[in-house]
Amino acid sequence: MAMIYCSDCGAKHSDKAKACPKCGRAVCNTDKSVLVYVLLAFFLGGLGVHKFYAGRSGEGVAMLLMGTIGWALIIPGIVVWIWALVDFIVGLVNMNNPEKIFRK
Ligand SMILES: [Zn+2]
């Protein structure tokens, strides 16, 4: 069991803890990279690939459908690209907060 430091308050706690015992900040134990998420959102976001990477497969399926057969209706295809762009920006903003991006 390793000890890690809370990125908010600096308290030392177990890496097995779900949240910091001092300030309650959610602890992210993922080894996934927000950078990969951001790149996926940018290049393949229209197909929801970054959502699958983040463990949000429900949203991923929705984006995949909108980004493929959704183009038959035009609007869903456009919406999914805007959605992916928003995810891309949210990913950039939360580059150091992976717990906000990835589902545990
Ligand atoms: Zn803390």
List pLDDT tens digits, range 52-88.
Answer: 999 999 999 999 999 999 999 999 999 999 999 999 9
Ligand 1 center to residue 77 CA distance, Å? 41
> How far apart are alpha carbons 53 and 103 in whole angstroms?
10
Q: How many CB atoms lie within 10 A of CB 49?
A: 20
For residue 3, what pLDDT band results from cuts at 50, 70 and 90?
Answer: confident
- More confident: 1 or 26: 26
Spacing, Cα 9 to ligand 1 middle (Å) = 4
3-class SS of residue 10: coil
CA distances from 103 to 1, 27, 32, 66, 86 (A): 22, 12, 11, 22, 18
Q: Return the bridge partners of 13, or none.
A: 4
d(CA 79, CA 9): 38
Dist. CA 103 → ligand 1 center (Å): 20
- Ligand 1 center from residue 27 Cα (angstroms): 9
CA–centroid distance, residue 87 to ligand 1 (Å): 26
Predicted confidence (pLDDT) at residue 45 exceeds the cutoff of 70: yes
With a cut of 90, say whether residue 38 has pLDDT above it: yes
pTM to 2 decimals? Answer: 0.75
The alpha carbon of 16 and the centre of ligand 1 are apart by a number of angstroms equal to 14
